[in-house]
């Protein structure tokens, strides 16, 4: 009888194997629109452009100086690279209003800033046609920076767990939409990926509320098997959503953005998004977001192209913009830590 009582006590007091199971967390950072350069028509300007700032500073570490600390601490940093890296304007699509280009040396801004991956699925990757896109991809390859573009995924692995990053723009997404489930299934079933991050470049520019098409397409990605959805393109911050135990970030806004020499006030609020993705023996277990308030520039009205962390009223403005487009109440900002949100279990 005593033996039976002892065994019962052991069962009650000793946690089960499931409870004691070890978990692995992969720490990711995301930032929005990064345009390393400016409009082709500005190349001869002597003041106020990204090119002029790069020449004045003489240090490519300048641009991401105040984000590097976060980017260096994470496991993997991923941004939207919006524009072309090429040493000439060959292939320029002059039918477009804006053609964004920076020289190939600007790739050092990413490497010095500890950015490991980018999405090229946006409305400026073809500003210089296939020639410009190929130059960008080749430049990134030589620098060791991974890039995602439509059905070409980036895969990051740590401790045996794999995360895939894919990217699509709103304009071309209809061509790939029917094949998205097959793409995600292949990543998970054939390549052993445990979670998929879907990057979506869409929405109405300068509107702080996400629209119906964003909601439809970004939720659709989760319906097809994506585990985290990250948005950009509106050039302003938008809100968050939890959908089917997965998280959607509608717009990260601009970041180191050379596409506007004199940003609108609404463009200044920005953020670095931290995402801790947790895994166990069953695969993806859930995620936690941390919001780090930033402004895209320390100067007005001219852009200094150096995003920096903000506190006080400026941080409140950032959090307020995100909250205004988020249905649930956000966890508050803690200075020096960020606004750490509740963990969202994946099952």
> What is the C-alpha to C-alpha distance for residues 258 and 48, in angstroms, rounded to an integer?
10
More confident residue, 16 or 344: 344
pLDDT reported for residue 201? 98
Strand partners, 210: none
The three-class DSSP label of residue 196 is strand
Q: What is the DSSP secondary-structure string of 228-293?
A: EEEEE-SSSB--EEEETTEEEE--B-EEEETT-SS--GGGSEEEEEEEEEEEETTEEEEEEEEEEE
pLDDT reported for residue 6? 42
Q: What is the pLDDT of residues 272-327, one digit of tens each?
A: 999 999 999 999 999 999 999 999 999 999 999 999 999 999 999 999 999 999 99
pLDDT reported for residue 104? 98
> What is the C-alpha to C-alpha distance for residues 96 and 44, in angstroms, rounded to an integer?
19
Distance of CA 61 to the CA centre of its chain: 20
The count of other CB atoms within 10 Å of the CB of residue 62 is 19
Q: Give the burial string for 264-287 (b: 16+ CB within 10 Å, else e).
A: eeebbbbbbbbbbbbbbeeebbbb
> What is the C-alpha to C-alpha distance for residues 238 and 227, in angstroms, rounded to an integer?
19
The residue ranges of every structural domain in the chain are 22-333
Q: What is the pLDDT of residues 140-182, one digit of tens each?
A: 999 999 999 999 999 999 999 999 999 999 999 999 999 999 9
Token pair 């939409």 is found at 177
pLDDT reported for residue 17? 42
Alpha carbon separation from 273 to 2, 87, 270, 276, 287 (Å, rounded):
55, 31, 10, 10, 12
pLDDT reported for residue 20? 56
The three-class DSSP label of residue 206 is coil
Q: What is the pLDDT of residues 47-102, one digit of tens each?
A: 999 999 999 999 999 999 999 999 999 999 999 999 999 999 999 999 999 999 99
Q: Give the burial string for 96-128 (b: 16+ CB within 10 Å, else e).
A: eeebbbbebebbebbbbbbbbbbbbbbbbbbbb
pLDDT reported for residue 21? 74
Which one-letter DSSP state was computed for residue 78? E
CATH of domain 22-333: 3.60.21.10
| Average pLDDT estimate for 127-138 | 98
Token pair 């029917």 is found at 178
Q: What is the pLDDT of residues 2-48, one digit of tens each?
A: 444 444 443 444 444 445 579 999 999 999 999 999 999 999 999 99
> What is the C-alpha to C-alpha distance for residues 296 and 270, in angstroms, rounded to an integer?
6
Asked if the model's pLDDT at residue 203 lies above 50, the reply is yes
Residue in 313, 278, 264, 279 with CA at minimum distance from that of residue 293? 313
pTM of the model: 0.94
Alpha carbon separation from 121 to 24, 96, 221, 333 (Å, rounded):
30, 17, 15, 31
Asked whether 116 and 76 are in contact (CB, 8 A), the reply is yes
Residue in 124, 285, 119 with CA at minimum distance from that of residue 197? 119
């Amino acid at each position: 009888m005593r033996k039976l009582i002892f065994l019962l006590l052991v069962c009650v007091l000793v946690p089960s194997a499931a409870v004691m199971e070890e978990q692995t967390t992969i720490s990711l950072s995301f930032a929005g629109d990064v345009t390393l350069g400016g409009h082709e028509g500005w190349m001869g300007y002597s003041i106020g452009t990204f090119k002029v700032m790069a020449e004045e500073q003489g240090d490519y570490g300048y641009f991401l100086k105040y984000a590097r600390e976060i980017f260096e601490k994470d496991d993997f940093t991923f941004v939207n690279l919006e524009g072309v890296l090429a040493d000439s304007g060959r292939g320029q699509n002059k039918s477009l209003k804006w053609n964004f280009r920076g020289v190939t040396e600007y790739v050092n801004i990413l490497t010095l800033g500890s950015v490991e991956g980018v999405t090229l699925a946006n409305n400026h990757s073809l500003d210089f046609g296939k020639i410009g896109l190929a130059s960008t991809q080749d430049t990134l390859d030589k620098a060791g920076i991974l890039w995602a573009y439509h059905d070409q995924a980036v895969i990051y692995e740590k401790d045996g767990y794999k995360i895939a990053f894919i990217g699509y723009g709103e304009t071309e997404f209809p061509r790939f939409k029917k094949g998205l489930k097959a793409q995600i299934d292949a990543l998970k079933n054939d390549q052993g990926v445990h979670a998929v991050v879907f990057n979506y470049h869409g929405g109405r520019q300068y509107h702080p509320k996400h629209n119906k098409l964003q909601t439809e397409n970004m939720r659709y990605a989760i319906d097809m098997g994506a585990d985290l959805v990250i948005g950009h393109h509106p050039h302003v911050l938008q809100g968050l959503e939890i959908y089917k135990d997965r998280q959607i970030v509608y717009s990260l806004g601009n970041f180191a953005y050379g596409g506007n020499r004199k940003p609108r006030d609404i463009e200044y609020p920005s953020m670095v998004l931290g995402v801790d993705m947790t895994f166990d023996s069953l695969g993806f277990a859930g995620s936690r977001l941390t919001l780090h308030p930033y402004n895209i520039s320390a100067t007005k009205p001219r852009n200094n192209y150096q995003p920096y962390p903000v506190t006080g009223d400026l941080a409140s403005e950032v959090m307020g913009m995100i909250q205004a487009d988020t249905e649930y109440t956000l966890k508050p900002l803690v200075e020096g830590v960020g606004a750490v949100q509740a963990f969202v279990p994946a099952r």
